[in-house]
Amino acid sequence: MGPGKPVICGKSYTIYEGFYGQTQSKVAIMRLRVHGANPRHVQEKIDRELNIRLSLKHKNILPLYEKIKITAEFYLIYPWMEHRDLARFLTTRREHFSLSSSSDRLISAAMHTAFLDFNEWNIIYGIASGLAYLHTHGVVHGNIKGENILLDPLLKPLISDFGLTKKEAIDATATSAGSEAPRWTSPELIDSDTPQKTKESDIYAFAMTIVEVLTGRVPLHHLMSSSQMHKAIVLDDQRPSFEPLSYNGRDFTALWELAASCWRKNPQDRANVADILKRLGLLVHNSIECNGSIPPNSRSPIATSEQGGPSDLYTDLSPNFIPTCGQASVHTIPQLSLSLQDSCTVSILPPGKPISFGNCDLFQGVHWPTGTILAMKRPRITGNTSAQAETIKRRFSREAKIWSGLNHINILTFCGIVNVGSEDYLVSPWVERGDLSKFLTARMDCDQASDIFLAFDEASMIRGIASGLAYLHAHKVIHGDLKAANVLLDNPISPLICDFGLTKNDEFDITSEGAGTARWMCPTVVSGSRRTKKTDMFSFGMTIVEILTGQCAFPLLSKFDVQLAFRQGKRPLFEPISRNGKSFATLWKLAALCWKQDPSGRPDAKEVESILASLEYTSSNKINCHQRDPDHRICTFRDPSSHIAGSIKRRRSH
**Could you tell me the pLDDT band of residue 270, with boundaries at 50, 70 and 90?**
very high
Per the DSSP assignment, residues forming a β-bridge with 33 are 73
CA distance 369 to 366: 9
Query: Which DSSP state fits 181?
Result: -
The predicted pLDDT at position 325 comes to 42
Instruction: Could you list the beta-strand ranges (E) of 446-593.
Output: 477-478, 487-490, 494-497, 504-505
Is the distance from CB of 512 to CB of 525 less than 8 angstroms?
yes
- Alpha carbon distance, N-terminus to C-terminus of the chain: 49
CA distance 166 to 515: 58
The predicted pLDDT at position 465 comes to 96
Is the distance from CB of 636 to CB of 607 less than 8 angstroms?
no
Confidence check: pLDDT of 174 > 60? no
Least confident interval from 325-339, 411-425, 527-541, 583-597: 325-339
Helix axes 109-117 and 436-445, enclosed angle (nearest 10): 140
Backbone angles phi, psi at 253, to 5 degrees: -55, -45
pLDDT tens digits for range 200-255:
999 999 999 999 999 888 888 777 777 777 787 878 788 888 876 665 567 788 88
Tell me whether domains 1-80 and 288-429 share a fold: yes
CA distance 623 to 582: 9
**Could you tell me the pLDDT band of residue 51, with boundaries at 50, 70 and 90?**
confident
Confidence check: pLDDT of 346 > 60? yes
Taking CA atoms, 505 is separated from 98, 133, 303, 304, 479, in Å, by 54, 43, 14, 11, 9
User: How is domain 288-429 classified at the CATH fold level?
Assistant: Phosphorylase Kinase; domain 1 (3.30.200)
CATH number of 83-283: 1.10.510.10
Does domain 436-653 fall under CATH 3.40.1640.10? My reply is: no
Domain ranges in the chain are: 1-80, 83-283, 288-429, 436-653
CATH number of 1-80: 3.30.200.20
| Total-model pTM | 0.51
